[in-house]
């Protein structure tokens, strides 16, 4: 029997997905959660939701999972900025995954999709960036490319199959419930607490509490207009160095030092060495030359008036989000282990 107003959250063991599942349950909405591996049940301990196995690379698995679903929160995607083969492991997974899930939703009769895109899909040439400035013209990063092209494809396919689709574009999500391994964004706070950021890269991040993004996803489902995109971020970004100063002040006993400023050529040399090490180890480098070229000095500031006015989105300040996220990690010390 079909449940009334059943919602499906994909990538439900991930940082946003799991917090969104918890939010929907708290609102009395019946939830079906999908994960790539059904053995990953720890994030659902004590939660009243159905858990199913589905993978964005397998369309049939989503046709099955989306049966009886009214609202589909498409959260699951490959979220990584480095891979041995970024075209295959990041870009193709996300593009083909987008095609699979929207076609599966059409076959299953889903009425509405909240598609989780990213601030990576925004044009930063004029600040503060806005939804109507279009897509990011910088094509140097495969993850960024996958979010830009994936969002465009999602709108195109939703229109073709007559499904309502709203896109949300979150910034760097931190805070609240998390499970190892930490997301890329949350992982930066882990590096800070573990004293693993030795130099000032002049990179900024737009920190946003994951619970605020989860609320924004829900508001987009309820109030968002079909075919529209909404930025879920804060107005102002904070540099990694400023973030480190917050951690240093909160936890003086940890001996956290402020990263030292070095010339850009030294950053590039350091990043090159790290990349070489990654080719040998297969593990993501702490820093790449592309990171320096794309993000050093980039101000990730946004005009969020559209989400505020249309959805009622009202995120906590980035400094507060950082403080609460640092506190969560320190209180869950096992997440800081190597």
For 128-140, the pLDDT digits (tens) are 999 999 999 999 9
Indicate the pLDDT class of residue 279, thresholds 50, 70 and 90.
Answer: confident
Q: Which residue ranges form the domains of the chain, and what is each CATH number? A: 7-179+207-234+300-317 (3.40.50.720)
| CA gap 25, 213 in Å, rounded | 16
Looking at residue 135, its pLDDT comes to: 97
Token digits for 143?
Answer: 């993850």
Residue 84: CB atoms within 10 Å: 10
Mean pLDDT of the chain: 95
Q: Angle at Cα 278 formed by Cα 273 and Cα 170, nearest 5°?
A: 105
Looking at residue 338, its pLDDT comes to: 55
Residue for token pair 């918890």: 22
Looking at residue 4, its pLDDT comes to: 61
- pTM for the whole thing? 0.95
């Amino acid at each position: 029997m079909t449940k009334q107003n059943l919602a499906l959250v994909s990538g439900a063991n991930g940082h946003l997905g799991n917090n969104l599942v918890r939010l929907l349950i708290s609102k009395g909405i019946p939830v079906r959660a999908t994960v790539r591996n059904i053995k990953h049940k720890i994030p659902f301990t004590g939660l009243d939701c159905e858990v199913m196995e589905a993978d964005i690379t397998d369309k049939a698995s989503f046709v099955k999972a989306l049966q009886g679903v009214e609202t589909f929160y498409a959260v699951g995607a490959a979220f990584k900025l480095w891979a041995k083969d970024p075209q295959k492991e990041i870009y193709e997974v996300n593009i083909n995954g987008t095609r699979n899930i929207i076609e599966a939703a059409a076959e299953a009769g889903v009425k509405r999709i909240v598609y989780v895109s990213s601030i990576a899909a925004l044009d930063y040439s004029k600040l503060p960036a806005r939804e109507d400035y279009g897509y990011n013209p910088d094509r140097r990063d495969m993850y960024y490319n996958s979010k830009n092209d994936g969002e465009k494809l999602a709108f195109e396919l939703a229109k073709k199959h007559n499904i309502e689709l709203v896109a949300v574009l979150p910034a760097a999500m931190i805070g609240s419930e998390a499970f190892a391994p930490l997301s890329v964004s949350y992982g930066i706070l882990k590096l800070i607490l573990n004293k693993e950021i030795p130099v000032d890269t002049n990179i900024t991040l737009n920190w946003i509490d994951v619970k605020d993004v989860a609320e924004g996803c829900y508001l987009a489902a309820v109030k968002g207009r079909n075919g529209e995109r909404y930025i879920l971020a804060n107005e102002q970004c904070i540099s990694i160095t400023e973030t480190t100063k917050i951690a240093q002040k909160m936890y003086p006993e940890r001996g956290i030092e402020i990263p030292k400023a070095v010339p850009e050529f030294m950053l590039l040399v350091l990043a090159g060495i790290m990349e070489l090490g990654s080719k040998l180890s297969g593990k993501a480098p702490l820093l790449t030359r592309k990171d320096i070229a794309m993000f050093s000095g980039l101000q990730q500031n946004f005009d969020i008036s559209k989400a505020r006015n249309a959805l009622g989105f009202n995120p906590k300040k980035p400094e507060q989000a950082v403080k609460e996220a640092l506190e969560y990690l320190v209180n869950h010390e096992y997440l800081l282990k190597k």
